[in-house]
Amino acid sequence: MKKLSLTLVTSVLLTLSTAGTLQATPAEDQEALKNYFSKKFSKIDINSYGDGAYIYREDAYEQFKLMEEDFPPYEDQIAKGEEMWNTPFANGKGYQDCLGDDVTKVRAKYPMYDEAKDTILTLESEINACRTANGEKKLKWKKGDIAALSGYIATQANGQTIDVKIPNEKAEAWYEKGKTFFYAKRGQLNMSCADCHVAYAGSRIRADTLSPSYGHVTHFPVYRAKWGAMGTLHRRYGGCNEQVRAKAFKAQSDEYKALEYFHTHMSNGLQWSGTAFRK
């Protein structure tokens, strides 16, 4: 009898708490994730999470910091981005006319929910929207000039706090779509983003230490040694999808925009730290 009521109570509690998680607000999701990491790795400074997998490996972290100070390999590309920012289009207008005069105020606006179009605007989507509005050709989405320009814009916002807003229910639907994507098993190898970057963050997959998803987006576009160049967040999404033998979605597809919205919101409270080196 006693046992039975205990079971009953437990199952009622479980039902309640499941219902609770289903209805968790984005802010609650974010808090829960941050708490998960600060509990799991109690010795690691939660504000250092923008430095990715390095935070779990003291030796590599030191090397990374030295490299960032002494030989940042992305400087010429950032300089190129600055030049692009300052070069008018053929019609005499420039990026400032679309994105605002103050370059330090651009990065932190995105990803942003656009109510009129019911979509997510990203820094890269707005760079190309600006170009086409002014009669210029779109840049390719994943690397090259777009990464140079978004990289420059990102560096100008360094130190600002990530604060993605979810203003209404329709925006929340985009957030939920991104969240579902992040937790869904995918590909022939059947793994989710969360498997690698939440459950096993800090573990090694072969020789690679897995980075935590909290802080994942802070430094994008990133300079990757493997690419020998800079690349956008959506380029990385494609790579991580293909690793599990799933088909990558197109950069700036609704799937990846939703993912970026959710994934960036996850890092609210951390600092933008535009462009960093990664293996």
Partner 1 sequence: MLKTLRILTLSASVMAITALTGLSTSTYAADDNKVSEEDIAKGKELAFSRTKGNCLACHMMDDGQMAGNIGPPLVAMQARYPERAKLRAQIYEPRDKNPNTIMIPYGTHGVLSDKEIDLITDYVHSL
Contacting positions for ligand HEC (CB under 6 A): 52-53, 191, 193, 195-197, 205, 208, 210-211, 216, 222, 236-237, 240-241, 243-244, 259, 263, 278
> Is residue 188 within the footprint of partner 1 (CB under 8 A)?
yes
Cβ closest to partner 1, residue 86 vs residue 190: 190
What is the DSSP annotation of the chain?
Answer: -HHHHHHHHHHHHHHHHHHHHHT--HHHHHHHHHHHHHHHTTTS-GGGGGGGGGGG-HHHHHHHHHHHHH--TTHHHHHHHHHHHHSPPTTS--HHHHH-S-GGGTGGG-SEEETTTTEEE-HHHHHHHHHHHTTPPPPPSSBTHHHHHHHHHHHTTTTPBP-----SHHHHHHHHHHHHHHHS-BTTTTB-HHIIIIITTTSEETTEEPPPSTTTTTT-SEEETTTTEEE-HHHHHHHHHHHTTPPPPPTT-HHHHHHHHHHHHTTTTSBP----EE-
Which range of residues in 12-20, 81-89, 125-133, 188-196 is near partner 1 by CB under 8 A? 188-196
Q: How far apart are CA 128 and CA 215, in angstroms?
A: 26
The alpha carbon torsion through 77, 82, 86, 90 (nearest 10 deg) reads 20
204 binds, among partner 1, ligand HEC, none (CB under 5 to 8 A by kind): partner 1
Evaluate whether 119 touches 178 at the Cβ level (below 8 Å). Answer: no
Cβ closest to ligand HEC, residue 131 vs residue 271: 271
> Is residue 195 within the footprint of partner 1 (CB under 8 A)?
yes
119 binds, among ligand HEC, partner 1, none (CB under 5 to 8 A by kind): none
240 binds, among ligand HEC, partner 1, none (CB under 5 to 8 A by kind): ligand HEC
> Is residue 199 within the footprint of partner 1 (CB under 8 A)?
yes
Catalytic residue among 130, 193, 196, 240: 240
Report residue 265 CA to chain centroid gap: 8
19 binds, among partner 1, ligand HEC, none (CB under 5 to 8 A by kind): none
The question of whether 240 is a catalytic residue gets the answer yes
Cβ closest to partner 1, residue 133 vs residue 189: 189
Q: How far is the CB of 266 from ligand HEC (least distance, A)?
A: 10
Binders of partner 1 in range 200-229 (CB under 8 A): 200, 203-208
> Is residue 247 within the footprint of partner 1 (CB under 8 A)?
no
> Is residue 23 within the footprint of partner 1 (CB under 8 A)?
no
Among 123, 191, 258, 259, the residue binding partner 1 under the rule CB under 8 A is 191
Q: How far is the CB of 26 from partner 1 (least distance, A)?
A: 23
Q: What residues line the site for partner 1 (CB under 8 A)?
A: 188-191, 195-196, 199-200, 203-208
As annotated, the active-site residues are 240
